[in-house]
Amino acid sequence: MRILRYVLFFILFIFLQSHSATYEIKSTHSKSDLKSSIINSKPHDTIIVHEGIYHETNIEVMHPLTIRGQGKAVIDGQGKDQIFKITSDSVTIENLTINGSGVSYIKDNAAILVEESKFCTVQNNILNDNFFAIYLSKSSNCIVKGNEITGNAISESSSGNGIHAWYCKNIEIYDNKVSNHRDGIYFEFVKNSQIKNNLSSGNLRYGLHFMFSDSCTYKMNTFKNNGAGVAVMYSKYVDMIENRFILNQGSSSYGLLLKEISDSKIINNSFKNNTVAIYIEASNRIQVDGNDIVENGWAMKVMSNSLDNFITRNNFISNSFQISTNGRNNNSTFSENYWSDYSGYDLDRDGYGDVPFRPVSLFAIEVEKRPQSIILLHSIFVNIISTVEKIIPTITPETLIDDKPAMDIIYDNN
């Protein structure tokens, strides 16, 4: 039965190929040629857009079609309206430069809107100065890959997102470069999707903003110099693997913010030079394993309303503060991590310190209460009271300890 299905699919594919046509659009033609070619084309035809500048908006694609740029083919919306709207399955838009979808406080104008469609592909395009660049709405089994997306965001209210997915499933977003938007990549009510090998940098709010989206994976991405790196909220079964969080800095900036998520994994990531590398609030059963957390302001802030999280085999190196919390109760497990400021000993030479490590310092608690006291960070007085507090804890959480601190950096994380 399966073989018969494959044979029928192959016959259908050959039939469509043999009956499809190719239309060629040149910039010397009138500006209506692109729209009229789409209207006059048949399902599974191809439209080649030759090099030139085309001033077009509200281009609707209502049947399966490939629209392919050749040379530097520029579709310029001149900041007026939406540019492409796709309402059909099996549409491909590739190799185009698409500029200037209009800013609107009423409509989510996009360079490319894919609405209630399946099996669409948006690839190898250059998208500049758009309100939203690529917007997927109630769509599934779509691919967004190899696009260069650059916005001109000045304020959050007057800018949209680079890649925006809403009520979608089985979406693949990979090998894109996104910058200068409100959020680089935004997921809301998205299921079973993957974000892989993207660079999201210089965005006003988040490199990746992720809400109510279960069973998704983001892997091998770089989130650099954003207002905050990544926010994952109100979701479960999220895997965050081998990503890089770099230089996400500001008064309330995080490499990774977790809020009300559960049953998820943070594995083999690198966090460097963030204000707070990882912030965990009201999140449960998170596995934080094999990460390099280096030269951040705070390595982790773990709120006391987070339960049953396991923080193991991570490298905590040269952070101003290792761990901070907001209560005396600790409901997470720390074990087998390397701490660059651990000064214990290993008499039995099993690779782990014989004395547990307390990663919450008294001074970290003081800075949380009185931020201006940060100026005393490297003073002798602070070093003395922090040492005494580790030996005889009176304010820091007594149960927040690493019972087996690693003596050496763990090199097999990645």
Position 120 scores a pLDDT of 98
Exposed / middle / buried, residue 394 (Cβ in 10 Å: 0-12, 13-18, 19+): exposed
What burial letters (b/e) apply to 360-389, b meaning 16+ CB within 10 Å? bbbbbbbbeeeeeeeeeeeeeebeeebeeb
Residue bearing the bigger pLDDT, 336 or 382: 336
Residue 137 exposure: Cα atoms within 13 Å on the Cβ side: 13
Of 25-29, 267-271, 300-304, the poorest mean pLDDT is in: 25-29
Give the mean model confidence (pLDDT) for residues 95-121: 95
Q: What percent of the chain has pLDDT over 90?
A: 73
Distance (Å, rounded) from C-alpha 336 to C-alpha 219?
Answer: 24
Tens digits of per-residue pLDDT, 60-70? 999 999 999 99
Distance (Å, rounded) from C-alpha 113 to C-alpha 116?
Answer: 10
Does the pLDDT at position 294 exceed 50?
yes
Q: Which of 271, 242, 253 is nearest to 206 (CA)?
A: 253
Distance (Å, rounded) from C-alpha 307 to C-alpha 109?
Answer: 41
How much is the pTM?
0.89
Angle between the N-to-C axes of helices 380-391 and 362-369, in degrees from 0 to 180, rounded to the nearest 10: 120
Cβ proximity of 82 and 60 under 8 Å: no
Position 30 scores a pLDDT of 46
Does the pLDDT at position 32 exceed 80?
no
Cβ proximity of 362 and 396 under 8 Å: yes
Position 230 scores a pLDDT of 97
For residue 351, what are the contacts with CB-CB under 8 A and spacing of at least 6? 406, 407, 408
CATH fit for domain 21-391, picks 3.40.50.720, 2.40.50.140, 2.160.20.10, 3.40.50.300: 2.160.20.10
Q: What percent of the chain has pLDDT over 70?
A: 85
The pLDDT-based confidence of 253 (bands split at 50, 70, 90) is confident
Position 364 scores a pLDDT of 59
Tens digits of per-residue pLDDT, 169-226? 999 999 999 999 999 999 999 999 999 999 999 999 999 999 999 999 999 999 999 9
Q: Which of 198, 103, 194, 192 is nearest to 147 (CA)?
A: 198
The pLDDT-based confidence of 386 (bands split at 50, 70, 90) is low
Residue 351: which region, alpha, beta or left (left: phi > 0; alpha: psi -120 to 50)? left
Position 355 scores a pLDDT of 93
Distance (Å, rounded) from C-alpha 120 to C-alpha 144?
Answer: 9
Q: Which of 260, 266, 259 is nearest to 238 (CA)?
A: 266
Position 1 scores a pLDDT of 53
The DSSP secondary structure of 203-216, one letter per residue, reads -SSEEEEEES--S-
Of 150-159, 183-192, 231-240, 371-380, the poorest mean pLDDT is in: 371-380
Distance linking the first and last C-alpha atoms of the chain = 44
Does the pLDDT at position 293 exceed 70?
yes
Give the mean model confidence (pLDDT) for residues 112-141: 98
Position 380 scores a pLDDT of 62
Does the pLDDT at position 398 exceed 90?
no
Tens digits of per-residue pLDDT, 321-364? 999 988 777 889 999 999 999 989 999 999 999 999 989 876 55
Residue 49: which region, alpha, beta or left (left: phi > 0; alpha: psi -120 to 50)? beta
Position 368 scores a pLDDT of 61
Position 369 scores a pLDDT of 56
The pLDDT-based confidence of 27 (bands split at 50, 70, 90) is low
